[in-house]
Structure 1
């Protein structure tokens, strides 16, 4: 098992660099407004669309940022590869996990997701401030972990049998089965993919996995299988990737472009139905 999650009770361990990733897919300005209204003292803010995605790219709805963009983000946030980094969102959301995955992709060795989110820290008495935090700039050189990342070509290789591996769709079962598709032009899932709804990982506003959830995950993918996780735009797949990492899965990738990237290609094959 790899430690991915921290709880408020763990924070007495020492100094942390804090990252606030609160966001709303329904209101893209909500996260920055919430940060300005009050954030945990010392926390920098990372915005899903401005910092954690390349919204100018055509590779899905929340495309992968460039290495240059990420390097600048890490440096202006004052991060070092061995820093203890704690990332929070509103609790039970996918945004901290998205940032956690990008930090891990950059080679940072001690990054964690706070289970209880911002409100958990507030309840525990951590002080708030409203001023934007500007850390001392670092000159960190990321150590890119390409083994964590999958693009459309790598996914196509799995679909067409040229590469071994399992595709795991993190969307709700109705979207996976093609019964309901509110966002993408084509309903269904990438051929051969299995399904595990990421929202099953949320309990009382926290990312967690009880025995029943762990058993369900184990029934969906084996711990020794090579797994590539995707969702609609690469955001809600990140918590499932994080939970699989926490449970000890070693051979894991995230298809950041996800289904929105897959169906942007003309005549991309899709399947409907399934469990």
Structure 2
């Protein structure tokens, strides 16, 4: 999948997408955008744009291809644009937007490591003016190979398909010791655990030896979390580190528990 993360100092001319969000304050990201954003940026909201909250497949359900294409076209994106996505830094939201664009096979999409503060430090100016772009007409070649649904994951659990399930939540949630959000505690059977927050280095995200030594580059890895959001940065870091056989279970644990059994404790 090639390079995913870019340092703010290496950002070239292109399109900017502001993906700032706060799961505890759903209006914060939009308000932050209006208070000041990178010149030329457009705002994508996690729940209004990058999820279809009318669906029941988890807490942040996957939008349809038609919804995503409409978003991309209304945003004035062209297939060959260089697209730079930022959030507040050390957060999962830019990675969520990045994954959606890679699902549509946009070739030149990057996450700005360090978020908006890194861009400001690199001398890129902010504005409160909103940019308008002409609507585009896209012909997209969807990359279904990076997407998993609950049926795909059930095949892995049942041994029908060989792949590693990777849970990006905290270990406490993974083992079922503490579950602050979902009604059922535990993890998808057979899954291993790597807390995505271990990737944080200040406001940036970076791979570490523990991640790279633990998981084999040759095996298929399906990443999930609670609702498909915090799995995105773990997926992105793996992709940036040269892992090519990756999928994201967008519905994630909050979707799985509506149909199937779970396990608790460490994976045997």
TM-score by structure 2 length? 0.97
Asked if residue 247 in structure 1 is aligned to residue 241 in structure 2, the reply is: yes
Give the SS at the match of 1:74: helix
The correspondence for 1:219, drawn from 209, 213, 233, is 213
State how 1:192-207 maps to structure 2 within 5 Å.
192-207=190-205
- 1:208 alignment partner in structure 2: 206
**Structure 2 alignment gaps of length 5 or more:** none
Whether contact under 8 Å (2:103, 2:142) holds in the other structure is: yes
- 2:61 alignment partner in structure 1: 63
- 1:270 alignment partner in structure 2: 262
Whether contact under 8 Å (2:199, 2:205) holds in the other structure is: yes
- 1:142 alignment partner in structure 2: 140
- 1:39 alignment partner in structure 2: 37
Give the SS at the match of 1:167: strand
- 1:232 alignment partner in structure 2: 226
Give the SS at the match of 1:253: strand
Residue 77 of structure 1 deviates from its aligned partner by: 1.1
Distance 1:49 1:81 in 2: 24
State how 1:1-275 maps to structure 2 within 5 Å.
2-11=2-11, 14-209=12-207, 213=208, 215-265=209-259, 268-274=260-266
Whether contact under 8 Å (1:85, 1:110) holds in the other structure is: yes
Provide the alpha-carbon RMSD of the alignment.
1.1
Residue 131 of structure 1 deviates from its aligned partner by: 2.3
Give the SS at the match of 2:17: strand
Distance 1:149 1:259 in 2: 15
Residue 247 of structure 1 deviates from its aligned partner by: 1.0
Distance 1:259 1:176 in 2: 10
Distance 1:240 1:181 in 2: 20
Alpha-carbon deviations, 1:39-97, whole Å to 9, x = none?
A: 11100000000000000000000000011110011001111111100000000000000
Whether contact under 8 Å (1:196, 1:220) holds in the other structure is: no
TM-score by structure 1 length? 0.95
Residue 122 of structure 1 deviates from its aligned partner by: 1.6
Number of residue pairs matched by the alignment = 267
Give the SS at the match of 2:165: strand
